[in-house]
Amino acid sequence: MKVDYEARLMEEIEARISEMESDSYEFPTRFAKKDYIFTAIVILICLVGVIGGAFIV
C-alpha cells in the first residue's frame, strides 16, 4: 500500500490556510516586553550552563 505523503501534506496545508483565513480565526497575542525579557534570561542561563560545563572536566 503506497501512501502519497505529498498529497496528504498539501491537503493539510490547504486546511490550515483556510482555517487561518476564516473570519472566526483568533490570532495569538503578541509578545509583551516581559516575554522578551524572560526569553533573554533563559538564553543567558543556558549560555552560562554551556560555557560553565566546558570547564568541568
* Lookup: cell for 48: 552560562
Give the pLDDT confidence of 17-43 residue by residue, as tens digits: 999 999 999 988 999 999 999 999 999
Q: pTM (2 decimals)?
A: 0.56
* Lookup: cell for 51: 560555557
State the DSSP code for 30.
P
The set of residues, in sequence order, having a beta carbon less than 8 Å from that of 19 and lying 6+ positions away, is: 25
Contact assessment for residue 25 and residue 19, using Cβ atoms and an 8 Å cutoff: yes
Give percent of the chain above pLDDT 70. Answer: 96
